[in-house]
Chain A
Amino acid sequence: MKTTETYLDNGATTKIDPQVLQAMQPYYAERYGNASAIHSFGLEAAEALEKSRKVIADSLGAKHEEIYFTSGGTESNNWALKGIAFANKSQGSHIIATKVEHDCILNSCRWLEGQGFTVTYLNVDKEGFVDPKELENAITDKTILVSIIHANNEIGTIQDLKTLYDICKKHQVYFHIDACQSYTKTALSAKDADLITLNAHKIHGPKGVGALYIKTGTKIIPWQHGGGHENKMRSGTHNVHGIIGFAEAVKVALKDKESLARMRRLSDKLIKEILKTPESRLNGPAGEKRLCNNVNVSFLKIEGESLTGYLNENGISASTGSACSSKSLEASHVLMAIGLTHEWAHGSLRLTLSKFTTEPEIDYVLETLPKIVEKLRKISPLGRK
């Protein structure tokens, strides 16, 4: 029997904020106009849409025409990579990413490799940081784009954007960052990159909506062709209610600095207490360079899928980078890239907090988790004669 519902998979998606839901409500059944239409229904929607665009733009210190709405992080990342690649083909065909990108970046890169582009995948150190020197060495006169995940979705490593962007500017290559996990949780502005991927559902907004910030003057091809929406760059009827919700979620998040401090305190507590377990380790950096809501730990001699399975039985939702939990039976590429052996990666556990996570919930996890680890170790033949 599930005694409680402790949702700690906010890195996957978050619960919608009630205030966001309320803001979206009228746009389903009352103000349902198509934002491209010229009647009052349409104008009403268009006005709300542009207000939302301004909210997102302001959050980055960007111009409102630099924000393009999309269907989410995956689309924005696909557009950034493929759009830059094809628009700048005459300048070169080399792209740089890292070994710890989200699958939507890695698989877009793989696809581009099939289209005649070459991709360099940068190594990261044992905490997940890119070495600026390695980036600089990887840039050739054929390089057109560097794409790096701002805060890692699995291990929470926050990259030093300024140093990396300076290198890109020096060599005149575009710099794209995937900020799905970091947006509103850590400092981010339009001055940090040429293209920034944003999305709503990681910040208590609705699913199916995101944005791509594209700096004025960036050479990129249009993504979807059709009725000429989004300045002819991304056609398709606007997801008005989703966009309204997105902007509302940003407004709520930016006002709420308190939650960030609380998430930081609670995840630090989790890490500190969990690491008291014998044969456990933290994956990713500790302290300020770690995303405030991310905890990723590993336990030897147990396997992550059964660990999350038992946590789920106890009402705790979490995720793992174990090979057994993936469709391809491959351990998490991020954990492998930071140099974990299969044994450590196999026993990994990711707990991601949100502003709704409470201290009693964390205490409940700290009470439950060691028991499960102990149980699984008890039925594990490893380390026994």
Chain B
Amino acid sequence: MYTEKVLQCFKNTHYAQEMKDPDAVGEVGNVKCLLPEERIHKNDHLVCIKNISKNDKIISHDGKYHQISQVYSRKCKEKVITIQNKLGKTTLTAEHLVYALKVPKKRKFFDTIVKRTIIPAWYHAEDLEKRDVVLYPVFNEIEDKEYIEPDLSAAKFDFKSKKIPSKIELNADFLRLCGYFIAEGHAIVKPTRNSVRFAFHVNETKYIADVKNITKTVFGLDVSIREEPQNKLAVVIINNVFVAKLFQSLFGSGAKNKRIPHFMMLLPPEKQIALIMGMWRGDGHLTLKRKFPRASYTTISEQLIHQMKTLLLRQKIVPSVYTEEEKMTKGVLHQEAYRIHVGDRNSMIRLMNLLGIDYNYKLEQKDRSWFDQNYFYTPISGLEEKEYQGMVYNLEVPGTHSFATNSLLVHNCGDIMRVYLKIKDNRIVDITYLTYGCVAAIASTEALCKIVKGKTLDEALKLGHKDVIKELESLPAIKIHCSSLSIEALRKAIEDYKQKQPG
């Protein structure tokens, strides 16, 4: 698989040694390659990779939390690729490794179940094509919790609220009420009024009655209902400071900031059904009479839409995540909103079953996304290339070497390279390296040293991974990232040198 030249560089490692008193050192732990605004799953919510720090927890390919040991960043000027699928978009550098299935592009093959037997592997982003299938981990941390204990300390300005039970059981009733609240409710904690309000459409009598019953059984409280006929609204009100404080602390305030608390995301999937049901009853919309029936969920909270995505994936329901930009329609300003559509056959059947809706899906349809025990499989729907200049980021995840973005599972390479430089009058007079990695990794750093020695810093900065490959004659496709790593280590060392210079 390796050319003679690669093996020569691997065998004869002239430059492989530590350097005493180097002028500069550059080390790379992996390919650093996500753009600053890329969202990755940290704990239960999404954050921009630039805001991730050491010791944060991310989700790896096993669907479980893993701690980050290192965050890397560097400036880059190169080709980046945006990969789009049902879950969203992720932009990364061309050699970044993505977990995927390469699907033969014959239409027949694409539509048959046979493609499910293809073995997944790590592919460079630039080698992926539309209709290749990417894998995404199904969140698999489970921590059951029986009950919560609301804060019952005396509230200022409130002397009339009845005490509520000191332990609230996390049963289906309470979780459904939470779902209604996330979708339709808001909590007011103010000196003059303390209440939780749910705004339903006047026709939603079934849900109004449900809220009323749950409030009685869970809190032992009565609700008051205020109808606003001009808005076709029926507002269900729980006048109680403790309930108001409880809901505010659990879900945040303001529709834009609503989120599901971490412990609820960790509950067993079968318990989360009630929560999903409440949320969909409020924010969901069913269009079953369309040619392709579908269900949709809309919110203006970005965190909430990704939490809903995670909840649905755990139920083996395929979500399509959309972002709707701010727009004016009929003179009304609509804020940026997020939507999930569920449309494929099996997912619709599961969702309707979960929501307790009797529904017979008649349309015969081939599902293009599917699940197994650990992963959600979904085809790439779009690819875009562009030149990018700016910072890029990557993470080191010990043990699993992978992490989930909003829409992809990406790899952090296990190879580590360190490059030492001796510099005189802006010229690299000596260069050595240390490498932990495969034949291609060792050969790449060796080849790098061969071509760099004697070059000026400016000349060295112009080198790219293709120059390393040229020196090696060729590298197997799956080892291209080794050459990128060596170039990166060099650039890092030069950066280190420049920083050390006075002025």
A residues lining the B interface (CB < 8 Å): 107, 110-111, 113-115, 301-303, 305-306, 309-310, 313, 322-325, 327-330, 341-343, 346, 378-382, 384
Contact = CB atoms under 8 A, between A and B. Distances in A.
A317 B401 CA distance: 29
B121 A303 contact: no
B119 A301 contact: no
Q: Which of B11, B122, B417, B433 has the most CB of A within 10 A?
A: B122
A114 B398 CA distance: 33
B414 A346 contact: yes
Nearest to B28: A381
Contacts of A325: 438
A274 B83 CA distance: 46
A114 B117 contact: yes
Contacts, number: 92
B436 interface: yes
Interface in B423-461: 433-442
Interface residues of B, number: 39
A380 B10 CA distance: 14
B68 interface: no
B435 A379 contact: yes
Interface string B116-151: 110111100000000000000000000000000000
Given A306-B10, A306-B439, A329-B478, A381 B434 contact: yes
B122 A113 contact: no
B436 A301 contact: yes
Contacts of B398: 341-343
B400 interface: yes
B331 interface: no
Nearest to A114: B116
Contact of A382 (B113, B416, B438, B440): B416
A120 to B, nearest CB: 9
B372 interface: yes
B114 interface: yes
B492 interface: no
B248 interface: no
B309 interface: no
Nearest to A106: B119
Q: Which of A111, A301, A329 has the most CB of B within 10 A?
A: A329
B97 A379 contact: no
B121 A330 contact: yes
Contact of B27 (A302, A323, A378, A381): A381
Interface string B96-128: 010000000000000001101101111000000
Contacts of B233: none
Contact of A384 (B18, B401, B433, B441): B18
Contacts of B435: 379-381
Given A329-B97, A342-B400, A381-B418, A309 B121 contact: no
Contact of A328 (B122, B399, B400): B122
Contacts of A330: 121-122
A17 B414 CA distance: 41
B16 interface: yes
B414 A379 contact: no
Contacts of A327: 121, 478
A343 B437 CA distance: 11
Across the A-B interface, give the 5 residue pairs with the lowest CB-CB distance, nearest first: A328-B121, A324-B438, A381-B434, A379-B16, A305-B438
Given A313-B11, A330-B121, A384-B434, A305 B401 contact: no
Contacts of B440: 324
B416 A381 contact: yes
Given A306-B10, A329-B411, A324 B120 contact: no
Q: Which of B17, B122, B436, B439 has the most CB of A within 10 A?
A: B436
A341 B119 CA distance: 22
A380 B434 contact: yes
A66 to B, nearest CB: 30
Contacts of A343: 398, 414
Contacts of B439: 305-306, 309, 324
A303 B436 contact: yes
Contacts of A329: 97, 121-122, 411, 478
B437 A303 contact: yes
23 contacts: A110-B117, A113-B116, A302-B436, A303-B438, A306-B441, A309-B10, A309-B439, A324-B414, A324-B415, A327-B478, A328-B119, A329-B121, A329-B478, A342-B398, A346-B414, A379-B16, A379-B434, A379-B435, A380-B416, A381-B27, A381-B434, A382-B436, A384-B434
